[in-house]
Amino acid sequence: MRVMRACGVAGAVLFVLAFLVEGATRGDGYDPLRHPVSSLAIGAQGWTQTANFLLTGLLMLAFAISLRGTSRWGFALMTAFAVGLVGAGLFVTDPVNGYPQGAPATSTTAGTLHDLFSLLVFAGLPAACFVYGRRFAGWGRPGWAAYSIATGVLFIAGFLITGAGFSGADGLSGIAGLLQRLTLVIGLTWVALLGSGVRTVYRT
């Protein structure tokens, strides 16, 4: 069980480090400030981000299983989050915010499925934050309760603002990639801390 809980830490760190390195080294007009993490899965080098999605998703699934005894809803939502990552890796996104350069704006079945699985990521994680925020309050952990709820609120706000940027909103389009990365870091930091402190913050 300890190893499975550590998978949450490993998955969070792996995902962030991988997309930071990939975004910084990708050519072909990719701009990490402007373009989404998912777009790293497009093209000949895309297998690296695909592998990142899949491996992180499997690690998060192991972590979710380790949470079964803490909260039924928390377990279900973290499982949905993990499944969303795996699905996002199986299906490549459509062109977003001008990447790849010159690619026409199209809507494919794979792109639609990618977006649907991504919703599990961006809805499942903050919902889990709220569930555990309530649980922590009941367990007499007010600091963890406040942190979890704040993470959920910031994650949702970041998701909505990022979505507006990727849709071409003035003033946000050029930094939509940065905003998405900040949102992911906020959420995955919570996951990593949850995994690293799970034995001390839970009453199981």
Mean pLDDT over the full length of the chain? 93
Looking at the structure of the chain, the number of domains it has is 1
pLDDT tens for each residue of 81-126: 999 999 999 999 999 888 888 778 788 999 999 999 999 999 999 9
DSSP assignment of the chain equals: -HHHHHHHHHHHHHHHHHHHHHHHH--TT--TTTS-GGGGGSSTTTHHHHHHHHHHHHHHHHHHHHTTTT-HHHHHHHHHHHHHHHHHHHSPPPPBTTBSTT------HHHHHHHHHHHHHHHHHHHHHHHHHHHHHHTT-HHHHHHHHHHHHHHHHHHHHHHHHHTT-TTTGGGHHHHHHHHHHHHHHHHHHHHHSHHHH---
Which residue, among 45, 41, 29, 145, has the nearest Cα to 90 in the 3D structure?
A: 41
Confidence of residue 200 (pLDDT cuts 50, 70, 90): low
Paired residues of 96 in beta bridges: 99
pLDDT tens digits, one per residue of 148-164: 999 999 999 999 999 99
Say how far apart CA 199 and CA 193 lie, in whole Å.
11
What is the span of the domain harbouring residue 178?
A: 2-201
For 12, 83, 131, 148, the CA distances from 76, given in Å and listed in that order, are 18, 10, 11, 17
Percent of the chain exceeding pLDDT 90 equals 80
- Whether this model's pTM surpasses 0.85: yes
Mean pLDDT along residues 12-32? 94
| DSSP secondary structure, 171-203, as one string | TTGGGHHHHHHHHHHHHHHHHHHHHHSHHHH--
